[in-house]
Amino acid sequence: METPRSNDKQKVRSAEVGTDILKALAELSPSTSLSRLAEHVQMPASKVHRYLQALIASGFAEQNAATNHYGLGREALRVGLAALNSMDVLKVGALPLAELRDDLNETCFIAVWGNQGATVVHIEPAVRAVTVVTQLGSVLPLLSSSTGLVFGAFLPKRETVDLREQELHNAADHVLADDQTYAALCEKIRERGLHHVHGLLMPGVDALSAPVFNAVGNVAAVMTIVGPTSLFHADENGPAAQRLLAATRAVSWRMGYQPIPVSST
């Protein structure tokens, strides 16, 4: 005879199996066969089939009548959309940004793309006498800041073209005035996944920036570390860069981003 405790454990285990199958349906989307799904979750096909019937009954899975393949249902879509709507990059990024500041003891901030360009929306200042003051709400230039250049590399061109023209109008001799030079730099930033500047925006100040992506692969924000050149070394291959990339990847993952695997062929 089952005790209430053993019955509770069985229910928990059933819920875990159900969520494992839901995750597998997402990973094998848009649809998959029963045999492939069973292999993916490493369960007998008969067991997976029983759970699928329950998921179909609740609207979390569906079966294509023509192919007999399975996929996520309307209820799964509704839950997924609700989760996406709750993903606020400031809320998700606040703790990783604070941890990054604690690890490096350099000023760290998050910027989003606003009507006027890259706008600082959250700051974690360094805790020491010598620091870099960055104001909340500051709008950073597209072509003269690591933050702006990262946005320029990952945003659609139509979103940055007017601001670039405006900045070049005020500085026609800018090193990035040439379209090919600017395009080549953006390509390098996309390849590296980050960018650094040494005293470009402010003399004696280094900056290192990397993008945060949302669930559909668009850049949602840019995370930046700034510090005095005498103390902070914005080396793209250095430990600060690796720590920054770890932070932005963690936030991107929490935002629902899944990078497309690079083919080895």
DSSP one-letter string for 68-131: --EEE-HHHHHHHHHHHHT--HHHHHHHHHHHHHHHH-SEEEEEEEETTEEEEEEEE--SSSS-
Report the SS3 class of residue 251.
helix
Q: What is the CA radius of gyration of the chain?
A: 24
pLDDT value of residue 264: 46
Q: Which residues of the chain have pLDDT under 50?
A: 1, 86, 263-265
pLDDT value of residue 248: 96
| Helices and strands (DSSP H and E) totals, the chain | 9, 8
| CATH homologous superfamily of 89-254 | GAF domain (3.30.450.40)
pLDDT value of residue 79: 73
pLDDT value of residue 130: 55
Nearest to 244 by CA among 258, 261, 226: 226
Dihedral of alpha carbons 150, 155, 159, 162, sign: positive
pLDDT value of residue 174: 82
Where are the domain boundaries for CATH 3.30.450.40 in the chain?
89-254
**Domain 4-85 falls in which CATH fold?**
Arc Repressor Mutant, subunit A (1.10.10)
Where are the domain boundaries for CATH 1.10.10.10 in the chain?
4-85
